[in-house]
Amino acid sequence: MPYNASSNRYDTTEYHRVGRSGLKLPAISLGLWNNFGSDRPLETQRSILRRAFDLGITHFDLANNYGPEIGAAERNFGLVFADDFESYRDEMIVSTKAGYTMGVGPYQDWGSRKYLLSSLDASLDRMGLDYVDIFYHHRPDPETPIEETMGALATAVNSGKAMYVGVSNYSPEQTVAAAEALAEYGIPLTIHQPRYNMFDRHIENGLLPVLDQVGAGSIVFSPLAQGLLTDRYMDGNIPNGSRASEGRWLQPGPIGDTYLQRVRALNEIAQNRGQSLAQLALTWVLRHPQITSALVGASSVAQLENSFAALEGPPLTDDELATIDPLAVDGTSLR
Average of pLDDT values for 56-70?
98
Residue 73 · residue 65 · CB < 8 Å: no
Q: Is residue 256 part of a domain?
A: no
At 240 the pLDDT is 67
pLDDT tens, residue by residue, 100-148 = 999 999 999 999 999 999 999 999 999 999 999 999 999 999 999 999 9
Q: Are strands 217-220 and 24-26 parallel, antiparallel or unpaired?
A: unpaired
Q: Is residue 162 part of a domain?
A: yes
pLDDT tens, residue by residue, 310-326 = 999 999 999 999 999 99
At 247 the pLDDT is 57
Confidence class for position 254, pLDDT limits 50, 70, 90: confident
At 242 the pLDDT is 60
Comparing C-alpha atoms, which of 139, 136, 195 is closest to residue 166? 136
Q: Write out the residue range of the structural domain in which residue 176 sits.
A: 9-226+285-316
Q: Is residue 270 part of a domain?
A: no
Q: Is residue 297 part of a domain?
A: yes
Q: What is the CATH number of the domain that holds 151?
A: 3.20.20.100
| Beta carbons within 10 angstroms of residue 243's beta carbon | 20
Total count of domains within the chain: 1
> pTM of the prediction?
0.95
pLDDT tens, residue by residue, 77-105 = 999 999 999 999 999 999 999 999 999 99
pLDDT tens, residue by residue, 149-193 = 999 999 999 999 999 999 999 999 999 999 999 999 999 999 999
Average of pLDDT values for 65-75?
97
Q: Is residue 80 part of a domain?
A: yes
pLDDT at 28 over 90: yes
Q: Is residue 260 part of a domain?
A: no
Q: For residues 235 and 224, which has the higher predicted lDDT (pLDDT)?
A: 224
Q: Is residue 253 part of a domain?
A: no
Q: Is residue 246 part of a domain?
A: no
Q: Are strands 59-61 and 132-137 parallel, antiparallel or unpaired?
A: unpaired
pLDDT tens, residue by residue, 260-299 = 999 999 999 999 999 999 999 999 999 999 999 999 999 9
Average of pLDDT values for 329-333?
96
